[in-house]
Structure 1
Amino acid sequence: MISLLLVSFLSMAHADEQKAQKAHVHGEANISIAFDGKKGRMEFHAPSEALFGFEHEARSAKDRAKKDQAMTKLEEKMSEMVVLAPELKCEIKKEISEVIQSKDHGDVDAEFNITCEQPVVGTTVRLQFAKVFPGIKKAKVDVIAGDVQKSVIVKKGGESLELK
């Protein structure tokens, strides 16, 4: 069962994300990751423009196809954007993803569950969002794992984050 700490962290991060979404910045994503032992949860938020090239509602067949392809890519390629140590044998599975549309602005929100065979504390995570979505120029990532709390800004080349 996910600990109270994990839930509290994600709730605080979500409240911050809601404030940020009201004035989102094109090309920027916000990711919150929390682990409780071998289980984790990740929340991903970004303007839809960074993933599929536009923010307006997808009405045409071409726009709907772009949006659907990007949402599938987000689900299928998350483990290439958040790379956990191979020896942990982690699996990242999408729980929910949606595009939240308001007037001429669209935001992508997604939540993922992470299950590993070993705890992540003491390992390194590689973060590389622009490799999969070049429209993400900068990502703010907050991670909590055990007693470790870290934040990093990930730019085009990616970053490694030690969970120590």
Structure 2
Amino acid sequence: MNNSPVVKEYSKDDQAQVVDLILHIQQQEYNIQITKDDQPDLFTIEDFYQTGSGNFWVALYDDKIVGTISLLDIGNHQVALRKMFVDKEYRGGKFKTSSLLLNTAIKWAREKSIKEVYLGTTPQFLAAHRFYEKNGFTGIGLKDLPENFPVLQVDKKFYKYLVD
């Protein structure tokens, strides 16, 4: 058995596990009042994320999806990092799931000649804030986002990453 998850591109077979993982983290762990109906993109991942310079990945551990990440093509050689979620049991240094997912997305962005990665997150995701900052993301204000960045209602904290 491999000690770390394997990251692969999303396929339709992954949908049920992706939805379950994301909703569990949002609703149960962080008590965010958001439903699957509030996130129609979770049911059209191929059409929504896997177009242009965008993509969606899952982290698998023994055939169980333990993490997700996506890049949404917002044009102008820019992407929005979305849907980064990791099962509580697979966070941290033991499995390095978050780093595996983020490194996969950044490598993809570099290969697609993306210049900047933007993301929005909620104030309660403090560990996520530290993770992004540790990995080269810089905090920015709402006014510093590109006009085509899709701001979500729950997002109050924003970051930018310059792809080299």
Task: Name the one with the larger helix percent.
Answer: 2
**TM exceeding 0.5:** no
Give TM-score, length-normalised by structure 1. Answer: 0.28
Larger RCO, structures 1/2 (Cα 8 Å, 6+ apart): 1
Task: Name the one with the larger strand percent.
Answer: 1
